[in-house]
Amino acid sequence: MDEILKTCLYDRHVQLSAKMEPFAGYWMPISYSGIIEEHQAVRNHSGMFDVSHMGEIRITGKDAIPFVEFITTNEINSKPFGKVIYGLFLYDNGTCVDDLLVYKVASDELFLVVNASNVAKDYTWIVEHTEGFEVLVKNESDDWSEVAVQGPETEKIVMEMMQIDLTDLTFYTFKNVIWNGHKLLISRTGYTGEDGFEIYGDAIAIPEVWDLLLSSGKILPCGLGCRDTLRFEASLPLYGHEISDQILPIEAGLGSFVKMEKPDFIGKKALLAQKTAGLVHKLVGIELTERAIPRQGYEVYSGDQMIGHVTTGYLSISTDKCIANALIATKYAIIGDQISVLIRKKMVPGVIRNRQYYKKNYKQ
Amino acid sequence: MSKVVEGLYYAQSHEWLKVEGNIGIIGVSDFAQAQLGSIVFVDLPEVGIQVTKEVEFGAVESVKAASDLLSPISGVVIENNQAVIDDPELINKDAFANWLIKVEIANPSEIDQLLSAADYRSISK
């Protein structure tokens, strides 16, 4: 086992008495004041996450755009520079290598942000597919630190404290700024279902941003615990749960990020074949009609028939409902149908529902 | 430093047992509630259910995790604590005042196999 790494904010987390756990090779804060309080802060006010563990990969060269069009599912060519684009890397068989954000910097430069736990795998996979393209692939993950500031009051507080104008940043766009002599990349993106920003900088700049924003007294430090409850309620997928190398993106309800009309991309042939043959699984929402918590891996039944399993489930903090995402056999994926979840040897009844558990609160 | 109450019996799996005649009152330790964090749900057996020493009889759950409850003693459930079912965070406030179930003890000799407060203190640091 390799040594567990520390982000540039590690000492601050310890000082704040955060509950720390190893995650994706880093010591990461799970919670500070408590998952529920942190979750509510992001929904109602503002919270800040250390997400320095995320992976950053830069693609440069003449063929940067056609190359990333080829290795990801979404459409990049028609989007303006300064746009952030959500997409997926797929294997030839159509299952997911990872999901990612593509920052469209220039005609010869794209900045990719990938899951921390997948950086090494993604980098290798990208490099393996460069043949025939004039591109350079650079894993810059060690050079970047990152905080995510999220919640309805975030914009006002960040602009006041940092003395920068971010009103021109629309949803899923970014800009580079010089702040206190530091180069920062700021995007109006996030993983909570709320308005907010992700701020990238080096290991000198990000602690300055963190300290300044916390000194407002209006932003709560938030850990990975509530990051998961927030993203789940907003029906945002997490690699290893809703997407994986066993799941097709079109089974996971991510069809709108898979542009089948693109001439070619890795995995397209397999997806076309699967669409023709019919999908085996489908990701659905489940709401239990008795109080119990459906957790990842729990089996889902229609009558006596096991039809799938829970990918993520919680007693939802924002809605107080016992809800879950579940990957089930397609023929059972009918909204309103009765199912049950096996929880500690008990069949707990529930119904199939949509996955819009919480209405996203984005600023367009 | 978590609280350990004298005069109770403790299981390695962090449940406590208070003996009143042939009635056993079962809860989770202060150490267990602190490890788990905010408790949002408890799953307790109905009255009349048979519980068995060292076998799962329910769970206490935080936002992130479910922690199985193992019975420190065998017996039949005669009461479950509705106050805790309605407000699970009571356990975080006082894990000893807020018991989970009461059982009619089937086999009193099982009590001797549990840990004393002093022994439990040494394993729950």
What is the per-residue pLDDT across B48-81, written as a single tens digit (0 to 9) for each?
999 999 999 999 999 999 999 999 999 999 999 9
Distance from CA of B61 to the nearest CA of A (A): 8
Pairwise CB contact (< 8 Å): B64 & A35: yes
Residue range(s) occupied by CATH 3.30.1360.120 in chain A = 5-54+144-233
Using CA atoms, how far residue B63 sits from A44, A94, A293, A314, B45, in Å, is 19, 33, 9, 7, 21
pLDDT at position A364 is 75
Give the pLDDT band of residue B125 (cuts 50, 70, 90).
confident
Q: In this complex, which of B37, B56, B61 lies closest to A293 when CB atoms are compared? A: B61
Cβ(A192)–Cβ(A317) below 8 Å = no
Contact assessment for residue A154 and residue A362, using Cβ atoms and an 8 Å cutoff = no
What integer pLDDT is reported at residue B2 of this predicted model? Answer: 87
d(CA A6, CA A184): 21
Q: What is the pLDDT of residues A69-127, one digit of tens each?
A: 999 999 999 999 999 999 999 999 999 999 999 999 999 999 999 999 999 999 999 99
Is the model's pLDDT at A15 over the cut of 60? Answer: yes
Would the CB atoms of A317 and B38 count as touching at under 8 Å? no
Give me the number of domains chain B comprises.
1
Model confidence at A43, in pLDDT bands (50, 70, 90)? very high
Kindly report the CATH number assigned to the domain that includes residue B106: 2.40.50.100
Range of B51's domain?
9-111
What's the pLDDT tens digit per position in A113-163?
Answer: 999 999 999 999 999 999 999 999 999 999 999 999 999 999 999 999 999
B15-20: strand order across its sheet: B9-10, B15-20, B23-28, B101-105, B75-80, B50-51
Count Cβ neighbours within 10 Å for each residue of A162-200 and write b for 16 or more, e otherwise.
Answer: beeebeebeebbbeebebeeeebbbbbbbbbbbbbbbbb
Angle between helices A154-162 and A205-214 (to 10 degrees): 110
**Binning pLDDT at 50, 70 and 90, where does residue A236 land?**
very high
Cβ atoms of A34 and A19 within 8 Å: the answer is: no
Q: Give the Cα separation of B74 and A113 in Å (integer).
A: 54
B123 pLDDT exceeds 80? Answer: yes
Identity at A231, one-letter amino acid code: R
Query: Is the CATH code 3.40.50.10210 the one for domain A5-54+144-233?
Result: no
Rounded average pLDDT over A205-233: 98
Could you tell me which CATH class the domain A55-142 is placed in? alpha beta
- Quote the tokens at residue A256: 């709108």
CATH of A280-353, one of 2.40.30.110, 2.60.40.1730, 3.30.930.10, 3.40.50.300: 2.40.30.110
Give the span between the Cα atoms of B10 and B57, in whole angstroms: 16
- Say if the Cβ atoms of A344 and B40 lie within 8 Å: no
Please give the pLDDT value at position A1: 55
User: What is the least distance, in Å, from the CA of B46 to any CA of chain A?
Assistant: 13
User: CA-CA distances (angstroms) from residue A259 to A69, A87, A250, A254?
Assistant: 10, 10, 11, 10
Mutation site, A344, A347, A348, interface B, largest B CB count within 10 A: A344
* Minimum distance, in Å, between the CA of residue A314 and any CA atom of chain B: 7
Tell me the CA distances in angstroms from A340 to A155, A202, A286, B76, one per residue in order: 42, 48, 9, 28
